[in-house]
């Protein structure tokens, strides 16, 4: 009887985040050992039940300190970088986290001689006026230069149980009589399920997806921002008015919130800039097969997932009657 090979060790930067926990689950289910590289390992213990005893281990690493990055990658068979921020706080700026940090991870992977999977975003462009999109674009350029055969994954808006999009606005709808539509809510989005995104990362580790390319991941539906809000309200069985906010006013609001000591600002000036551009899979990616469908993965519908985690925002949670909105006359 032959002894099975030692399971591969996969180092995941940003594994304690929203997408990270789903990527780690997908890897653990395949039998891989997972090393979660994060700034505060003691806060990542919730990941351990996703695998067997000892299969998932958190280690300390900070992308601003190259030595910690090298230590986290040492002995790995594959590296995944999921690190990204939606807004800047203190020393965690877009340039330091998304550009400098990505280069540090790529250099460490190259030094170890192992494959790299890097998460970017649709709209990444080193010449973008949005700092988020600009640094994502710079990171892509660095990754391509340092690890030419790395796989770069660009998802659209990602939805799932812990997302910061549908959950955010569903929470807002509990107390707000109306929901804001930046620029009229006409920006086109292509929400993609986090489980589908995680599957792509896992397949690259499996060797089923070749590196050296840029994938664009979107769901089966292209919806405007307003249509996304309508889908969310339908699921939580609430009726809310919409208030259109002109771009100029939204930009002013974003700059104002930047000077308010909030943990998570409702909107930032940079996010307003991002909303000026559609966030959908490009025609080139579709033609080249660099999409979920091109990989043989059937994208998951919003309707199949949203109720599973937004039900808690209904007036009586899972016990809310289907006709409760009409009975209350809520608007």
How confident is the model over 196-251, as pLDDT tens digits? 999 999 999 999 999 999 999 999 999 999 999 999 999 999 999 999 999 999 99
- What radius of gyration, in Å, describes the C-alpha atoms of the chain? 20
Residues 3 and 5: their CA atoms lie apart, in Å, by: 6
Read off the pLDDT of each residue in 270-284 and give the average, rounded to a whole number.
Answer: 95
CA atoms within 13 A on the CB side of 49: 1
Where do the domains of the chain lie?
9-158+193-218+280-300
β-strand 158-159 against 178-182: which pairing, if any?
Answer: unpaired
Does pLDDT of 267 surpass 90?
Answer: no
Report pLDDT digits (tens) over 252-261. Answer: 998 887 767 6
Helix axes 302-310, 166-175, angle to 10 degrees: 50
Domain spanning 9-158+193-218+280-300: which superfamily?
NAD(P)-binding Rossmann-like Domain (3.40.50.720)
What are the C-alpha distances in Å from 106 to residues 70, 86, 112, 213, 312?
A: 10, 21, 10, 15, 40
Residues 302 and 219: their CA atoms lie apart, in Å, by: 8
Q: Is the pTM of this model over 0.85?
A: yes
Confidence of residue 327 (pLDDT cuts 50, 70, 90): very low
Contact present, 63 and 101 (Cβ < 8 Å) = yes
pLDDT of 262: 59
Dihedral pair phi/psi, residue 91, rounded to 5°: -80, -10
Under DSSP, is residue 55 helix (H, G, I), strand (E, B) or coil?
A: coil
């Amino acid at each position: 009887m032959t002894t099975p090979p030692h399971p591969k060790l996969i180092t995941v930067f940003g594994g304690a985040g929203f997408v990270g926990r789903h990527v780690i689950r997908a890897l653990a289910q395949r039998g891989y050992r997972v090393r979660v590289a994060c700034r505060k390992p003691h806060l990542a213990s919730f990941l351990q039940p996703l695998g067997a005893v000892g299969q998932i281990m958190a280690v300390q690493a900070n992308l601003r300190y190259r030595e910690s990055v090298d230590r986290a990658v040492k002995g790995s068979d594959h590296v995944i970088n999921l690190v990204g921020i939606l807004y800047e706080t203190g020393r965690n700026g877009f340039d330091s986290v998304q550009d400098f940090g990505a280069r540090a991870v790529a250099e460490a992977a190259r030094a170890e001689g192992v494959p790299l999977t890097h998460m970017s975003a649709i709209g990444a462009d080193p010449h973008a006026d949005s700092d988020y999109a600009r640094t994502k674009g710079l990171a892509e350029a660095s990754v391509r230069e340092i690890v030419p055969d790395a796989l770069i994954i660009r998802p659209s808006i990602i939805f799932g149980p812990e997302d910061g999009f549908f959950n955010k606005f569903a929470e807002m709808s509990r107390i707000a009589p109306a929901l804001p539509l930046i620029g009229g809510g006409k920006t086109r989005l292509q929400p993609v399920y986090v489980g589908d995104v995680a599957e792509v990362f896992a397949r690259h580790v499996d060797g089923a997806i070749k590196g050296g390319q840029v994938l664009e991941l979107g769901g089966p539906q292209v919806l405007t921002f307003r249509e996304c809000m309508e889908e969310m309200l339908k699921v939580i069985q609430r009726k809310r008015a919409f208030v259109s906010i002109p771009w100029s006013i939204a930009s002013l609001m974003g700059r104002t919130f930047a000077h308010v000591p909030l943990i998570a600002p409702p909107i930032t000036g940079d996010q307003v800039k991002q909303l000026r551009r559609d966030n959908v899979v490009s025609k080139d990616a579709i033609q080249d097969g660099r999409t979920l469908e091109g990989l043989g993965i059937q994208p998951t519908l919003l309707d199949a997932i949203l109720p599973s985690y937004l039900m808690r925002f209904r007036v009586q949670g899972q016990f809310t009657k289907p006709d409760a909105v009409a009975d209350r006359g809520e608007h």
